Structure 1
Amino acid sequence: MKSREDIRREEEAAWAGRGRLGTAGVDASGASDKRFVDGWSFFTESGADVAPVWGWPGQVAWAAGESLMVGGPIGTGKTTVGGQLTYGRLGLLETVLGMPVVPGNGKVLYLALDRPRQIARAHRRLVRPEWEKVLRERLVVWCGPLPGLLDKDTELLLKLARTHHADTVVIDSLKDAVSTLTQDEAAVAYNNGRQRLISEGVELLELHHEKKPQAGAERGQAPTLNGMYGMQWFTAGAGSVLYLAGHAGDPVVKLWQIKTVKGEIGPLEIVHDHDTGLSRVSEGQDPLSLLKAAESGLTALCMARLLYDTEKPDSAQKAKARRILDKLVEEGHAKVVPHGAKKTTLVFHAIPLLRVV
């Protein structure tokens, strides 16, 4: 298995390749522009296969060179998760929600735009005395409104990152960074600035809010991108979008990946420890744990019922449960056994770990 340092070197090499010039590396005026690359370099050296910032190569929560958006209702732990990812990028936490985080080399610029004191209280639960040197040297926090709005000044985000030598920027939260969330012009302009930042090798984490939930929504119903507040271009320009479902202050919420990059994550029950500031995946909702607990195995339908907390999962939920089970088989964690008179019912069983005596 690759070490964290090996993964980080691969990430750096891939991003260096983004600026490699071929014969096409000249703009209309004859000047060199690193955004021009030849076709082969674009497909093979642009970072498409680089290890994720957060997650595994086959199951990506946050892809290098693409922003991660974490959304959901107020009080469901967006800032809590964002804080842990911040400390992961600083090399202070190796994993978040059980998934590895690749540390950066530069500083993290945290834009505490929405109630900075509340953000500080949320992070303070997690901060440890031995982190003081790293936090003083490599974490820069902006408190309160920005000097301009990111849809009005599309260069501002990159300017701030460059000024503070940051290779990671966290926006907490998006609604406080733009003039409006409900106009196409603002969303398109913001996305322009977002892509300018990312094209320079700076990773971006955006915390965002949902629309007002609709009355009568079925319990366990999967959220969609349409549930995020604002115009579609805010989510369209993001790489991965995660959604934390629950009510304000809930110690247990559900995480969904409503826009994927590679592989699928969740739905997972997330337990927020409000004393330590750490979050973990509830083992009861982890697909492999569910499979291990089922002595007679599980069909895709049964897995969908457990994951989505509904007796009547829809076709999309059943299909996703099947993909999760197939992935467990592919990774060697499970096996599939045909059942029934015609052997058409597929039952999945966990493969027990071999114990070395």
Structure 2
Amino acid sequence: MFHHRAVDEVRALLVPEDFYRPAHETIYRAILALRADDAPTDPIVLTDYLLGRGDLSRVGGAPYLHVLASAPPTVANAEHYAEIVRRKADLRRLRENGIRAVQWATEPGADPDAIRSAAEAELRTERDRALASGGGRLSRYLVDGWRFVTETGADTDPLWGTREQTAWSSGESLMIVGPPGVGKTTLAHQVVLARLGLQSTVLNMPVSPSERVLYLAMDRPKQIAHAMARRITPEHEAVLRDRLAVWQGPLPATLDKEPDLLADLAAAHQADTIVIDSLKDAVSTLVDDALAVAFHNARMRALRNGVEVMELHHQRKATADAPRGQRPTLDRVYGSTWITSGAGSVLFIAGEAGDPAVAIHHLKTPTGEIGPLQVIHDHERGTTTIEPTFDPVAILRAHPGGLTTRDLAAVLSGQANPDRSAVEKARRHLERLVKSGHARKTEGAAGGTGGGQQARYQVSNLHIAVG
């Protein structure tokens, strides 16, 4: 009950007067005072605080404080326990209001209108008290519009990628999906190692550093360890000991049963990043909409606590034999639609098990779409690189005369007559290269029907020199 996180949740629901016993009201006031000063709220500090104010013996002494602190089986249920106290307090006040109304009505010369007015005033006071108690359930997460836009992370740099092309956005989960054996874990490990500062980019995109990563290795932990060992050398020991924690095997409970468990695990292991490998081992069933929503609540509670979340997941078995090269869609992701609806970014790896050459499709994008990327897994070293023949910079370098957006779209899509969507994707690729200095643009010229000249893009002189 005295855990800081529990205190923060409880004070949003309860005021000291909600407690029936005066001793509990005094103890709760002391806890709130300590928390307001950012001081510890454990029984030892609380004992000292109450002793200094002459209240310790009145509340039952130090032994009673230790009994209270150990009474709740888990701090994850603090909010539920607070709801019980609040409901009972509300019922007591309503009963007291009713008794007063009866007493008024039995007095000689009682005025019904005056009694009704007084009773309504009591009810309004009770309603206002309930709404204002510690911030109240209805306002606990309420901020004004300006703070929402400027202070809730909408303008932060991504965890992986750029602002124009974001693979993983801060405050939103990243889901990596695909059939078995296509390199989901290989890709995830590279991102994890980059979060630990052991590399700076993954797939040519920057990755921001993390303080500490908790990896939930629930799906074949030994295989996960073997896969990660491909990238590890003795000089990495200090970083891995200090900044990477690994949970091996099943969780104490599924996340749909205990939505606070994900956030509690992160807090217990002081992690600001959690990797779930994989979702099928974390939720009772993924096809039930209600359980999918319960899992999303677990995901959101972790994100709300400042924990970044990456999830590894599988595709539907029925579509495992989809034609090679066909662009996947979100309905190929296994489980309820609410699993992907709550994710911030979804990367789908398409290919055959064990195939070094696979395609990465960005099915759900925080900002601009990434790819599709044709990539090569080096299964011996545990690395993934973009296939050079599909790298826009490499393509430009191979065409000294430059390319139009339609030219690049034809190369990337493999279609002689690319559709409008493919052309627009190529245009975004080229404009980003111009902005980053990797390419230069020569504006086209307007013309009549069938005339004119399209803009052409060429690799910049700098990149020609280093090529």
Q: Deviations over 1:208-254 (max 9, x none)?
A: 11123648855432221111111111111111111111111111211
Counterpart residue type for residue 353 of structure 2: A
CA distance in 2, matches of 1:275, 1:27: 62
Deviation at 1:336, TM superposition (A): 4.2
The separation in 2 between residues aligned to 1:179 and 1:223, in whole angstroms, is 26
Check whether the contact 2:293–2:338 (CA below 8 A) recurs between aligned residues: yes
Q: Matched residue of 1:244: which SS? A: strand
Deviation at 1:272, TM superposition (A): 1.4
1:30 to 130, 133, 145: 133
Partner of 1:57: 163
In the other structure, the counterpart of 1:77 is 183
For residues 202 and 108 of structure 1, what CA distance do their matches in structure 2 show? 10
User: Which deviates more from structure 2 when the two are superposed, residues 204-213 or residues 308-317?
Assistant: 308-317
Q: Deviations over 1:264-323 (max 9, x none)?
A: 211112221112212222222112221221234333333223223344544433332232
Q: Partners in 2 of 1:214 and 1:144 — Cα distance?
A: 28
| Higher Cα Rg, which structure | 2
Structure with bigger strand share is 1
**Counterpart Cα distance in 1 of 2:421 and 2:164:** 21
Given that 1:240 and 1:260 are in contact with CA atoms closer than 8 Å, whether structure 2 keeps it comes out as: yes
SS of 2:444's equivalent in the other structure is strand
2: CA distance, partners of 1:235 / 1:317: 24
Aligned to 1:175: 280
8 Å CA contact retained: 2:179, 2:320 = no
Pairing 1:1-357 to 2, within 5 Å after superposition: 28-32=131-135, 35-105=141-211, 107-212=212-317, 214=319, 217-311=322-416, 313-332=418-437, 333-338=439-444, 342-343=451-452, 345-353=454-462
TM-score (norm 2): 0.66
> Counterpart of 1:352 in structure 2: which amino acid?
N
Q: Contact (CA 8 Å) 1:154, 1:190: kept in 2 or not?
A: yes
Counterparts of 1:109 and 1:127, CA distance in 2: 17
Distance 1:310 1:146, change over 3 A: farther
User: Following the alignment from structure 2 to structure 1, what is the Cα–Cα distance between the partners of residues 140 and 412?
Assistant: 45
Return the alpha-carbon distance in structure 1 between the equivalents of residues 372 and 409 of structure 2: 10
| Equivalent residue letter for 2:134 | A
- CA distance in 1 between partners of 2:146 and 2:411 (Å): 45
Q: CA deviation at 1:34?
A: 6.5
State the structure with bigger RCO (CA 8 A, min sep 6), 1 or 2: 1
Amino acid at match of 2:176: V
Assess, with a 3 A threshold, how the Cα gap between structure 1 residues 311 and 180 changes in structure 2: closer, same or farther: farther
Aligned to 1:153, the other structure's residue is in SS state coil
Distance in structure 2 (CA, Å) of the matches to 1:309 and 1:92: 36
Secondary structure of 2:179's counterpart equals: coil
* CA-to-aligned-CA distance 1:310-345 (integer Å, 9 cap, x gap): 445444333322322233344442314437862154
Q: Is the 8 A contact 2:373 2:390 kept in 1?
A: yes
Deviates more, 1:208-217 or 1:292-301: 208-217
SS at match of 1:175: helix
- Rounded Cα–Cα distance in structure 2 between residues aligned with 1:320 and 1:149: 40
Quick check: 2:319–2:332 contact (8 Å CA) kept in 1?
A: no
Deviation at 1:346, TM superposition (A): 4.3
Displacement, 1:263? 2.1
Q: Distance in 1 between matches of 2:202 and 2:435?
A: 24
Q: What SS does the corresponding residue of 2:133 show, helix, strand or coil? A: coil
Over 3 Å counting, the alpha-carbon distance change for 1:215 and 1:230 in structure 2 is closer
Provide closer, same or farther for how the CA distance between residues 87 and 329 of structure 1 changes in structure 2, counting only shifts above 3 A: closer
Q: Which runs of 5+ in 2 are unaligned?
A: 1-128
- Superposed CA RMSD in Å reads 2.4
CA distance in 1, matches of 2:252, 2:401: 60
Identical amino acids, percent of aligned pairs: 50
2-side partners of 1:271 and 1:27: how far apart?
59
Q: Distance in 2 between matches of 1:183 and 1:323?
A: 38
Give the letter aligned to residue 425 of structure 2.
K
